[in-house]
Structure 1
Amino acid sequence: MDTLVTTHELAEQLGTPGLHVLDATWFGTLPGADARDAAAEFAAGHIPGAAYLDLGRLGQTAAEGEIPGIARHLGALGIDDAATIVLYDDSPFHTAARAWWLLRRFGVTASLLDGGIAKWRAEGRPLQAGEGAQHNEIRHVTFDGSRMRTKADMLENIDSAAEQVLDARSAPRFDGTEQDPRGLPTGHIPGSFNLPYNKLFTADGTWKRGDALRAAFEESGIDLDRPIVTTCGSGVTAAVLAFGLHLLGRDSALYDGSWTEWASDPRTPKATVTL
């Protein structure tokens, strides 16, 4: 199955043995964010046969480095070693990309539904209510930290410039002209580039492809032929950029602590844009 799956392709393959569709919707914890309950919205209506992937819990388990915990979490969703996984979301943060990145760290390959459940609904496709079944499968996972970057790595990179740093936050937050929603210092990691994650999508919420996607990255100042590490506010939308790069055949790393960790440390340098 391709990395990006259309709603038409998924509709044709629903019910295929071994196909697992996971709802990876997450709404974040930013001050002032909409108080939406992803699990409740899943129970109210989801793609038929889908299971709810608790992205917050998955991320916490991954942060703790619990390989058995990741295996149990996936096994409870019925995902064994032979599973084909398609992820979707209904979040403004396009959190299916975050789920894709987390799973990839543990050797689990997944695809994304292009346009998510919003496109599925807009096309009048069927929905199913209910919380989804629990299973007791066994999923083997292995940890790969090669695509992760720490604060220490990012500090060293300021001097070495070995990797280009690409920030997924909005331009005002990157520039330092807008207050940080968590009350942290404003600005960005010195030397980094800015590509707001929403610039990777078309008007109907589907991903840009080919030349249009490539242009979005190049217009940010990034050289696609050089190493790239993505960052954002808390590591979520940085995964959107990572997936976009993946669609272009480019591998990238991700600074999971992102601006929340960086700005919380008074010793780290912060840059702003002078207008």
Structure 2
Amino acid sequence: MTIRSSALRASILITADELAERVRAGEPPTLLDVRWQLDRPDGRADYALGHIPGAVYADLESELTDHSITGRGRHPLPSGAALQAAARAWGVRSGVSIVLYDNWNRAGSARAWWVLRAAGIHDVRILDGGLSAWTASGRALDTGAVVSVPGDIVVEREDLYDGELATLTASEAGEVPERGVLIDARAPERFRGESEPLDPVAGHIPGARNVPSGSLLDERGFFRETAELEQRFAGAGISNAPVVGVYCGSGVTAAVDIAALAVLGIDAALFPGSWSQWSSDPALPVATGATESEATR
């Protein structure tokens, strides 16, 4: 691993050992527990049963999503004002770094990482390996809820669809394959259109390449080494692509792919509405079947 790639990785991911050392040194970050799963979206009860000491629960469904927005998929982005209120309630303070973790496939922590960075909050990292990385070495968990001292963070970006990280509209996402690479981060069977448990139509955006978010993690839930990540994306043809876009079911697990691409030094745009928005519009085309990139998984 080169010095540059190592630095990129360290700017996005943090190890459990590094986190523990910062706590021991009296330099604890603001720690957010963002556990969320497709079949268990509310992680508050699990958080109360055991979380990293000092971690505050951040709810993906109510605080990192604005369900009052229609026509933009199942997980529309929150407004800047709403995110600022939530972040202050979590205890986020200017000049204090943030570490995010979850307990399922890095989906919740990656979503929070993307949203906070899009809002202009830069010192944010994902705990590599999630909660299990913390407990694997016998580190203790606390129970109950943590009530933090209110923070003072200021979010200047009101519209995160036009925030500091690039996003795509549905029409823009459909055009990406003509001039770059559009990555679908869902499971292969959903991409191919063999099954669709959540959205009205099965399939994928025409021209998209499938790089499932789960394939970017090893069997323990850690992001794969940089060389392996490069290999996983190679079949999608991202090298020298002028534009890279990413979508998933509803803009959550796509953030895992975007974080992995960031480790490689590649800035990718998110289609926040993702397949849940695309498939709800009968005027938009749908493709099924595999592409050559499927062989890279």
Same-fold call, TM cutoff 0.5: yes
Distance 1:108 1:274, change over 3 A: closer
1:274–1:26 Cα change, 3 Å: closer
- The separation in 2 between residues aligned to 1:39 and 1:55, in whole angstroms, is 10
- Structure 2 residue runs without a partner (length 5+): 1-9, 67-74, 158-162, 292-297
Pick from 145, 148, 156 the counterpart of residue 167 of structure 2. Answer: 148
The residue type equivalent to 1:147 in the other structure is A
Structure 1 residue 93: Cα displacement: 5.5
Residue 94 of structure 1 and its aligned partner are, at CA, apart by: 2.7
Compared CA separation, residues 183 and 79, structure 1 to 2 (3 A): closer
5+ residue gaps, structure 1 = none
Q: State the match for 1:49 in structure 2.
A: 54
Partner of 1:170: 187
* Structure 2 counterpart SS, 1:124: coil
Secondary structure at the counterpart of residue 100 of structure 2: strand
- Tell me what 1:262 maps to: 278
Alignment of 1:210-221 (within 5 A): 210-221=226-237
Residue 208 of structure 1 deviates from its aligned partner by 0.9
Give the AA of the match of 1:170: A
Equivalent residues, number: 267
Q: CA deviation at 1:95?
A: 1.8
Which secondary structure does the structure 1 equivalent of 2:270 belong to? strand
- Please state whether the residue corresponding to 1:148 is helix, strand or coil: coil
Distance between the aligned counterparts of 2:174 and 2:41, measured in 1? 36
TM-score (normalizing by structure 1): 0.90
Render the CA deviation track for 1:153-212: whole Å, top value 9, x for unaligned: 223446xx2331000011111111x22102522111011100111111112211112211
Pair 1:86-2:99 in alignment: yes
Listed as ranges, the matches of 1:49-198 within 5 Å are: 49-61=54-66, 63=76, 66-92=79-105, 94-109=107-122, 110-143=124-157, 144=163, 146-157=165-176, 161-176=178-193, 178-198=194-214
Q: Using a 3 Å threshold, how does the CA distance of structure 1 residues 183 and 240 change in structure 2: closer, same or farther? A: closer
Q: Distance in 2 between matches of 1:43 and 1:97?
A: 21
TM-score calculated relative to the size of structure 2: 0.83
Q: Spell out, residue by residue over 1:33-65, the C-alpha distance to the aligned partner (whole angstroms, 9 max, x if none).
A: 2x4741111111111111111121222249465
Please tell me whether the aligned partners of residues 176 and 243 of structure 2 are also in contact (alpha carbons under 8 angstroms): no
Say what the alpha-carbon RMSD is for the aligned residues. 2.1
Query: Are residues 274 and 92 of structure 1, via their aligned partners in 2, closer, same or farther at CA, if it must alter by over 3 Å?
Result: closer
Instruction: Tell me the residue number matched to 2:23.
Output: 14
Report if aligned partners of 2:173, 2:245 keep a CA contact under 8 Å in 1: no
Judged with a 3 Å threshold, the aligned counterparts in structure 2 of structure 1 residues 7 and 224 are, in CA distance, closer, same or farther, namely farther
Native 8 Å contact 1:193 1:222 kept in 2: no
1:224 is displaced (CA, Å) by 5.3
User: In structure 2, what is the Cα distance between the partners aligned to 1:211 and 1:133?
Assistant: 41
Deviation at 1:5, TM superposition (A): 0.8
